[in-house]
């Protein structure tokens, strides 16, 4: 206490100057200033403010349901049954939906999706994920013990980056990411104090990945950090490219030669539209290349309920499969995921439905396939339409959208606009010294 008995004045414990400096480096444009301005304009429109337009269309994020995509009936039926089990007695629900719900509920504590699960995720769901991967990859085995259920793919990506980030100065972990990129990666790298290592996709070749560019990027980065991780998004976000099998093989050889940890973001694996394009999982290609690679390369691949034909972003369901991870590190991974107790249980349940969907002969099969096909066909049509319309606008060009949910056009600014911007910038500079 001070001499007059008053408590001494104390400043705030947490200020911009005393907070974690890495957080200040985080930039997530997907929900950044432009989006905030759009929300403000949207609010003004609702309040009756007159604008030269009547609607704000948000094109910043792949939120399918927010843009009008209808949920898959079977998924919502099972989720309703899991959330309110009394509906299991209702004859309006098909038996295959009820069977899925009963199986999921029986795997939950107290037969309730309101209970915690194990940190790695519900056991039966992880087994179903492993079976799905094995079917997808033509019989290549998948071990349920290598499956971790996650809060969307984002949670898994950040968790693995946490394990990989270490060092100081020139020994800091470098994380190689594609440019153009999905800002989750740059934001997470900044938050964790790692080093972002950019490699540039080739726009002239429909945003393809060139090994020569990977080599250039790696060599340059080794001057100031320790590149340990190579992140691949396939199909691509935000560029919509689909990698050929040959490209994936080249990437795997490069990672083996340079001793890099591979992270394969494959959340758009069902979103392939262009003729001649096909999704190849990194794991499948890795194992088909033989034991020289399949026993050596450390790979983690990610999937999600948020994209493809599901579009169920809000449930925050996903999984990651770890391949060739050191057993002691794997124990640390299990410890790390236990800190957040468990992923959202409704998201785990929905992930199970994605990998264990209705089969021929089941009551819901025909409706499910009809809805799934309609969604993917509509997305393919929109991809083509977006490309065609963008290419009709003067000053804008766009590559074919081969997959995913995004187009990434090139905008060529007129020289007059550039000159006027330079004049305005100079004016602002001189005004600051006035």
Split at pLDDT 50, 70, 90, the class of 317 is very high
Among the candidates 9, 25, 60, a domain finishes at 60
**Do 55 and 83 have their domain in common?**
no
**Do 116 and 53 have their domain in common?**
no
Range name among 34-43, 138-147, 357-366 with the lowest pLDDT average: 34-43
**Do 108 and 26 have their domain in common?**
no
Tell me if the bond preceding 62 is cis, omega within 30° of 0. no
pLDDT for the residue 227 = 95
Contact 255, 199 (CB under 8 A): no
CA distance 170 to 167: 8
Number of structural domains in the chain? 2
CA distance 236 to 154: 15
- What's the rounded mean pLDDT across residues 252-260? 95
Angle at 167 between CA 229 and CA 162, to 5 degrees: 55
CA distance 97 to 13: 53
CA distance 123 to 228: 32
pLDDT for the residue 345 = 93
Q: Cα dist. 132→51, 177, 295, 321, 352 in Å?
A: 50, 28, 22, 12, 10
Q: Cα dist. 22→25, 163, 188, 226, 254 in Å?
A: 5, 17, 10, 19, 31
Beta-sheet pairing, 396-397 with 299-304: unpaired
Share of the chain above pLDDT 70, in %: 93
**Do 49 and 153 have their domain in common?**
no
Contact 279, 294 (CB under 8 A): no
Split at pLDDT 50, 70, 90, the class of 371 is very high
pLDDT digits (tens, 9 = 90+) for 128-156: 999 999 999 999 999 999 999 999 898 99
Contact 223, 197 (CB under 8 A): no
Q: Which residues pair with 403 in a beta bridge?
A: 272
Instruction: Report whether pLDDT(314) > 60.
Output: yes
- What's the rounded mean pLDDT across residues 171-186? 91
**Do 175 and 280 have their domain in common?**
yes
**Do 173 and 87 have their domain in common?**
yes
Q: Chain-wide mean pLDDT for the chain?
A: 89
CA distance 210 to 205: 10
Report, in this order, helix, strand and coil percent for the chain, each rounded to 5.
Answer: 50, 10, 40
**Do 50 and 171 have their domain in common?**
no
**Do 292 and 157 have their domain in common?**
yes
Range name among 3-17, 241-255, 329-343 with the lowest pLDDT average: 3-17
Map residue 432 onto helix, strand or coil: helix
pLDDT for the residue 57 = 78
pLDDT for the residue 98 = 96
pLDDT for the residue 62 = 74
Residue 290 region, left (φ>0) first, then alpha (ψ -120 to 50), else beta? left
**Do 29 and 50 have their domain in common?**
yes
**Do 33 and 76 have their domain in common?**
no
pLDDT for the residue 32 = 67
Range name among 17-31, 122-136, 368-382 with the lowest pLDDT average: 17-31
**Do 389 and 430 have their domain in common?**
yes
Which one has a higher pLDDT value, 121 or 4?
Answer: 121
pLDDT for the residue 430 = 61
pLDDT digits (tens, 9 = 90+) for 165-178: 998 889 999 999 99
Give the domain range for residue 343.
68-434
Range name among 8-22, 169-183, 202-216, 389-403 with the lowest pLDDT average: 8-22
**Residue 259 contacts by C-beta under 8 Å, 6 or more apart in sequence?**
none
Q: At what angle do helices 152-164 and 183-192 cross, to 10 degrees?
A: 40
Token pair recorded at residue 210: 């060139």
CA distance 124 to 367: 25
pLDDT digits (tens, 9 = 90+) for 191-202: 888 999 999 999
Q: At what angle do helices 345-355 and 95-106 cross, to 10 degrees?
A: 130
Q: Which residues pair with 226 in a beta bridge?
A: 173
CA distance 293 to 225: 26
Q: What does 47-75 look like in DSSP terms, one character per residue? A: TT---S-S-----SS--TGGGTPPPPHHH
Q: How far is CA 214 from its chain centroid?
A: 22
Q: What does 82-100 look like in DSSP terms, one character per residue? A: HH-GGGGG-TTS-HHHHHH
CA distance 106 to 271: 33
**Do 266 and 395 have their domain in common?**
yes
pLDDT for the residue 247 = 94
Instruction: Report whether pLDDT(248) > 90.
Output: yes
Split at pLDDT 50, 70, 90, the class of 14 is low
**Residue 420 contacts by C-beta under 8 Å, 6 or more apart in sequence?**
none
pLDDT digits (tens, 9 = 90+) for 45-82: 888 888 888 888 777 777 788 878 899 999 999 999 99
CATH number of 104's domain: 3.40.640.10
Question: Residue for token digits 């409706």?
Answer: 367
């Amino acid at each position: 206490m001070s001499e007059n008995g008053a408590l001494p004045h104390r400043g705030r414990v947490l200020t911009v100057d005393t907070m974690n400096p890495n957080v200040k480096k985080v930039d997530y444009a997907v929900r950044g200033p432009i989006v905030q301005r759009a929300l403000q304009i949207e609010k003004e429109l609702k309040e009756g403010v007159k604008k030269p337009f009547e609607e704000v269309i948000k094109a910043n994020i792949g939120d399918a349901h927010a843009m009008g995509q209808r949920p898959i009936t079977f998924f919502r039926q099972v989720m309703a049954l899991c959330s309110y089990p009394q509906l299991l007695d209702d004859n309006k629900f098909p038996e295959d939906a009820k069977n899925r719900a009963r199986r999921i509920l029986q795997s939950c504590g107290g037969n309730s999706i309101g209970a915690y699960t194990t940190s790695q995720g519900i056991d039966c769901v992880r087994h179903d994920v492993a079976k799905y991967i094995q079917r997808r990859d033509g019989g290549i085995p998948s071990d349920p013990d290598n499956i971790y259920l996650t809060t969307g793919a984002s949670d898994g990506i950040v968790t693995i980056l946490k394990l990989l980030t270490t060092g100081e100065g020139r020994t800091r972990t470098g994380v190689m990411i594609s440019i153009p990129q999905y800002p989750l990666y740059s934001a997470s790298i900044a938050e964790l104090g790692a080093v972002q290592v950019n490699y540039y996709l080739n726009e002239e070749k429909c945003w393809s990945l060139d090994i020569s560019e990977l080599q250039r990027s790696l060599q340059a980065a080794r001057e100031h950090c320790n590149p340990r991780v190579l992140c691949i998004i396939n199909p691509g976000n935000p560029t919509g490219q689909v990698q050929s099998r040959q490209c994936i093989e080249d990437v795997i050889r490069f990672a083996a030669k340079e001793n890099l940890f591979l992270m394969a973001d494959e959340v758009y694996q069902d979103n392939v539209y262009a003729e001649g394009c096909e999704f190849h999982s990194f794991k499948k290609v890795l194992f088909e290349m033989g034991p020289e690679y399949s026993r050596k390369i450390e790979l983690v691949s990610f999937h999600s309920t948020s994209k493809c034909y599901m579009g169920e972003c809000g449930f925050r369901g996903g999984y990651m499969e770890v391949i060739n991870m050191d057993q002691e590190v794997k124990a640390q991974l299990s410890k790390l995921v236990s800190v957040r107790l468990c992923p959202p249980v409704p998201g785990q349940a929905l992930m199970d439905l994605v990998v264990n969907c209705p089969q021929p002969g089941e009551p819901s099969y025909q409706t499910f396939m009809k809805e799934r096909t309609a969604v993917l066909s509509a997305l393919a049509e929109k991809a083509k339409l977006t490309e065609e319309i963008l290419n009709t606008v003067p000053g804008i060009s766009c590559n074919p959208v081969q997959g995913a949910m995004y187009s990434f056009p090139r905008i060529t600014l007129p020289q007059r606009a550039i000159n006027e911007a330079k004049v305005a910038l100079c004016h602002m500079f001189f005004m600051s010294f006035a």
